[in-house]
Amino acid sequence: MSQLATNARVVRALGMRSLRQTFRRPQLIAPILIFPTLLLAIQTGGAGGAVDLPGFPPVQSFLQFMLAGAMMQSLMLAGNSGGIALAVDIEMGFTDRLFSAPIPRFAIVLGRLAGTAALGLFSSLWFLAIGLVFGAEIESGVPGALIVIALVTTTAMAVGGIGAAIALRTGKASVAQGLFPLVLVVLFLSSAFFPESLMIEPAKTIAEYNPLSFVVDGIRNPIIAEINASDLLDALLAIAGIVVLGLVLSARALRHRLRVG
Amino acid sequence: MEATASLPEWRSNLAMIAALMARSKNELLRVPGAAIPGVLAPTIFFLGLNGVFGALTQLNGFETGSYESFIVPVSMLQGAGFTGAAAGVNLARDIEAGWVDRLLVSPAPRWVLLTGTVLSASARSLIPASSVFAFALLLGAGWPGIDGLLVLFSMVAAMAAAAACWGSALALRFKSQSAAPLMQAGMMGLILTTTAYAPLALLQPWLQSVAEVNPVTEVIEAARQGFVGGVSWAGTWPGIVALLGMLAILGAWALREMRRTAR
């Protein structure tokens, strides 16, 4: 069997393990699906009147606007959960066993990221389904839905890279878990839950430059309007930036992990 | 327990409750970092919600022009909910470690064991509440007055006790820390399906219906009084009744689970 096929099998096996691990542990799946769904329902019901504010972008409903925010929250927490699970593997010595196996080191990280990407895919389908069930239309139709799915999946993988880097660097689940509040801060300081122009300072200015705002706007655009190439390009560039950051940090952290054991 | 064996029953019960509270305090003092997420989460929610949804006050029907003032009691109660849920997680950890088994073979009545856990959570909830309150004042939230402050912190402490009963009941039922998301999500759902984000009239119809029957709505309205107007008995007693009701139901459930565990 070619080396490439062998590596693909390793990545697939580790990815499947990561998925099974997440779905078997309520602590890991709850932040990815239950909390964002609960918050989506509550924020839609509680702040739904916001669509009447002057300056709010034209939308069918607040639910339609919020879907992208819920997906973003879910994928960020999927990345964080992936980091926690990897750190647990390091603490339990499972990663050491993988390091001593005749498989490339990058496949170990890639396997975890494949699992996180699959969770991102699942999350995008979950929230699109919720939106459709509760009457939110996808304005740009099937092509728009496919763009949303692709953006959420790749962003989950990109964010998972940063989670993996932190897990590899620290080797401590408690540190990865401690990043949970930080994930919330970064999310609140983006346009995930409200239009940037209507946010209060200093959140408004920070959101303007937060790369996540570009990603979330790219995900939201096909849901609330026709596909906009400029928004899509901005989102792709922001995702590329997160991927590069995740790759660089992961590669350095992996070298560190191999050195310290 | 030998030292308390000769004491009258009520005094030995009090000593047991004090010992359980002291244990909780020691946990906090020995691992102060463990309290940070509990303080950070409601503070971040407060700052985040305020930055994001602050413009909602421009909608007709808002009782105040300051969203900081409107949202601060919600974040403080959310902190109480998190603290109560954390008490449940800690109890589940103690069950997994076998420590609760040892407690259950002691001669202390079950309600005393539960009271120790619940009162500890109640006291601990004042830490995140104070942090959120301080941030709110710095950001320009109105001063609720001494009476408003008393009502607010009393509601927070009692809400944490109710949340601790909820968390303890689940911990005793599932006997595993895996139940943690249920403890947290339950409290989050209960506290936020109220007039948390906006006044009742501005909520979407489905949430309006839920908020009308959710007892925590009365708690939030009572806690919010000082920030959006004056404190009155008419605005306070429904909150007290709601909390007493929740404490009675959730406390009875937790006690039942504890008795079942002991069997």
Q: Does B48 touch chain A (CB under 8 A)?
A: yes
DSSP state string for A79-112: HHHHHHHHHHHHHHTHHHHHHTSSS-HHHHHHHH
pLDDT mean across residues, chain A: 86
Q: Does B201 touch chain A (CB under 8 A)?
A: no
Q: What is the pLDDT of residue A33?
A: 87
Does the pTM exceed 0.90? no
Q: How far apart are CA A208 and CA A190, in angstroms?
A: 7
Give B17-56 pLDDT, tens digit per residue: 898 888 888 877 776 666 676 788 888 888 888 888 888 8
List, in order, residues 6 or more apart from A155 with CB less than 8 Å away: A72, A75, A120, A215, A219, A239, A242
Give A172-192 pLDDT, tens digit per residue: 776 776 677 678 778 888 898
Q: Measure B130 CA to nearest chain A CA, in Å.
A: 18
Q: Measure B44 CA to nearest chain A CA, in Å.
A: 6
Q: Measure A110 CA to nearest chain B CA, in Å.
A: 27
Residue B262 pLDDT > 70, yes or no? yes
Both structure tokens of A164: 């993996």
| Boundaries of every domain in chain A | 2-46+58-260
Give the model's confidence band at A252: pLDDT under 50 very low, under 70 low, under 90 confident, else very high: confident
Give the model's confidence band at A261: pLDDT under 50 very low, under 70 low, under 90 confident, else very high: low
Q: What is the pLDDT of residue B4?
A: 53
Q: In chain B, which among 140-179 make CB contacts under 8 A with chain A?
A: 177-179
In B, minimum Cα distance to A55 occurs at B55
Show residues of chain B in contact with A40, CB under 8 Å. Answer: none
Q: How far apart are CA B195 and CA B202, in angstroms?
A: 9
Q: Measure B43 CA to nearest chain A CA, in Å.
A: 10
Show residues of chain A in contact with B189, CB under 8 Å. Answer: 38, 42
- Which amino acid is residue A140, in one-letter code? S
Show residues of chain A in contact with B48, CB under 8 Å. Answer: 184-185, 187-189, 203
Q: How far apart are CA B193 and CA B191, in angstroms?
A: 6
Show residues of chain B in contact with A195, CB under 8 Å. Answer: none
Tell me the ipTM for this assembly: 0.75
Q: How far apart are CA A32 and CA B191, in angstroms?
A: 20
Both structure tokens of B207: 């949430």
Residue pair B28/B125 in contact (Cβ under 8 Å)? The answer is no
Residue A223 pLDDT > 90, yes or no? yes
Which residue in this structure is represented by tokens 């975890």?
A112
Q: How far apart are CA A157 and CA A152, in angstroms?
A: 9
Q: Do B50 and A180 touch (CB under 8 A)?
A: no
In percent, the amount of chain A with pLDDT more than 90 equals 26
Residue B1 pLDDT > 70, yes or no? no
Show residues of chain A in contact with B49, CB under 8 Å. Answer: 188
Q: What is the pLDDT of residue B32?
A: 67
Q: Measure B50 CA to nearest chain A CA, in Å.
A: 8
Residue B222 pLDDT > 70, yes or no? yes
Read off the pLDDT of each residue in B51-79 and give the average, rounded to a whole number: 86
Best B47, B49, B52 member to test A by mutation, with max A CBs in 10 Å, is: B52
Q: Does B69 touch chain A (CB under 8 A)?
A: no
Residue pair B117/B170 in contact (Cβ under 8 Å)? The answer is no
In A, minimum Cα distance to B191 occurs at A42
pLDDT mean across residues, chain B: 87
Residue A124 pLDDT > 90, yes or no? yes
Give the model's confidence band at A132: pLDDT under 50 very low, under 70 low, under 90 confident, else very high: very high
Residue B133 pLDDT > 90, yes or no? yes
3-class SS letters over B213-228: HCHHHHHHHHHHHHHH
Q: What is the pLDDT of residue B259?
A: 87
